[in-house]
Structure 1
C-alpha cells in the first residue's frame, strides 16, 4: 500500500536527516505498485528467466545509492523517481537478454518509446480481454487478441501510455503527467481521448470482450 501523500515528504525529510529506517519504510510501501509496473513492462519472453522481485530490489539499491541526489532536488514526486529507477532496471534486463546485433527489441515489444520499456500491445490486449479458459474461449481469445493488438497499434503511442498509467498503474493525473513530462491539462486531455478511442476499439471487436476494459 502506498503511503498517504502527506506522509511522503515527512519520510523523505527523515531520510535526508539520515534516518535509515525511513528508507526501508518508504520503499516497502511502494513494492506492490512497482510489481504491477514491472509485470506490465517486462517482456513475456523473460518469464522464468527474470524475477520481478529481483528487478525491484536492484532498483531499490539504485535508489538508496542516489537518495542524496533526490533529496537535494526533489523535482518530481518520490514514487515517480523510484519508478523511473526500477524501469531502467527493466530496460537493462531487455538489453541483456533480448537485444541482438542489428535488432531493435524496443521496436518489437514497446508501444511507447519512452525512458523505460512501454507495455507491449500483446500484454495490454491480454489484460483487456480477461481470462477465457475453455478450448473454444481460448481460440476466440487468441483471434481477438490479434485484432485488438492491431487496433491498439493504431493509437497514438503517448495516448496508449497515459491510458496504462492511469488505468493499470493507478496513477493520479498529476503523477501520470510527471512520469511523461507533460502538463497536467495535456495529460488529462490525452487520457480522455485515449479512453474514448479504447472504448470505440473494444466496441468494434466481433463479440465484444469479457474482461474489464474500463
Structure 2
C-alpha cells in the first residue's frame, strides 16, 4: 500500500478515536485550500468583521465533533467533507451578522448540492480584474467592474460555480463534479463553456483578451 495513503488512513483512524493531534494534522493538510475558499466566498459585508482564521477554527471544532460519523464509503472525499463544513460555517456567520436570507443564486446552488455560499459576481469580477490589464483611471475601472459583474450575473449559476471551483479554488474536475453532483463530462463541458464566456466578457469590457483564463488547471 502507498505510504501516503497509509499515513492518511492512520491519521484518520487515530482522529476518529479522539486523537486531536491527528485531527489537527489532517486539517493542516488542507488548510491552505480551505483558507483560499473562505477568502473568496466570505461575504464582502463581513470583511473586516470576520477573520478567515476564525472561520477555519470554528470549522475545525465542528469537524472534530462530526468526524466519528465520517466515512469515505459515502463517496465524500475528506477534503470535500471539510470544505462543506467550512462553507456551512460561512453561511452561519452571514446569517448571524447580517440577518438576511440566502440570495436567490445561493438557493439555486444549494439545491444543486453544495450547501454553501455561491460564488458572487462581485468576487469573481475582482478576481478577473486582477487577471486583466486594469485601467488606472478609477472611473474607468469602476465602469469595467460594473460591466463584468452584469455579464457574470447573466451567466447560468452552475456555470459560474464551475468556473469558481476549477479556476479560483483549484478543485479538480472530479472534485467539481462530486461537489455539484453532476457527471465528470458535464463538469468539464460547463467549465469549457464558462471559460469561453469569461474571455468574451473581458474582451468586451476592456477591449482586450487575456489568455490566462483559457489555461485550464490540470485534473
Instruction: Please classify the TM superposition score into its range, dividing by the shorter chain length.
Output: 0.7 to 0.9
Aligned to 1:193: 193
The CA distance in 2 between the partners of 1:159 and 1:149, in whole Å, is 15
1:34-183 → structure 2 map (5 Å cutoff): 34-71=34-71, 73-100=73-100, 104-107=101-104, 110=106, 113-114=109-110, 115-130=115-130, 136-183=136-183
The CA distance in 2 between the partners of 1:187 and 1:148, in whole Å, is 23
- TM-score (norm. length: structure 1): 0.84
Give 5+ residue unaligned stretches, structure 1: none
Alpha carbons of structure 1 residues 173 and 80: separation in structure 2 relative to 1, 3 Å: same
- TM-score (norm. length: structure 2): 0.83
The CA distance in 2 between the partners of 1:171 and 1:23, in whole Å, is 22
Give 5+ residue unaligned stretches, structure 2: 215-219
Aligned residue pairs, count? 207
Alpha carbons of structure 1 residues 211 and 32: separation in structure 2 relative to 1, 3 Å: farther
Alpha carbons of structure 1 residues 155 and 93: separation in structure 2 relative to 1, 3 Å: same
CA deviation after TM superposition for structure 1 residue 53, in Å: 0.7
Alpha carbons of structure 1 residues 205 and 131: separation in structure 2 relative to 1, 3 Å: closer
The CA distance in 1 between the partners of 2:83 and 2:65, in whole Å, is 15
Contact residue 121 and residue 149 of structure 1 kept, 8 A = yes
Contact residue 112 and residue 119 of structure 1 kept, 8 A = no
Contact residue 111 and residue 157 of structure 1 kept, 8 A = no
Alpha carbons of structure 1 residues 71 and 154: separation in structure 2 relative to 1, 3 Å: same
Deviates more, 1:6-15 or 1:44-53: 6-15
Cα RMSD, aligned residues only: 2.8
Deviations along 1:32-89, whole A, 9 cap, x unmatched? 1111101111111111111111111111111100111103744211000000001000
Contact residue 131 and residue 212 of structure 2 kept, 8 A = no
Contact residue 91 and residue 117 of structure 1 kept, 8 A = yes
Deviations along 1:94-118, whole A, 9 cap, x unmatched? 1111124xxx4524x8596321101
Contact residue 125 and residue 145 of structure 2 kept, 8 A = yes
The CA distance in 2 between the partners of 1:160 and 1:57, in whole Å, is 28
CA deviation after TM superposition for structure 1 residue 209, in Å: 6.9
Higher fraction of helix: 2
The CA distance in 1 between the partners of 2:204 and 2:32, in whole Å, is 34
Q: Which has the higher contact order (CA 8 A, sep 6+)?
A: 1
CA deviation after TM superposition for structure 1 residue 16, in Å: 3.8
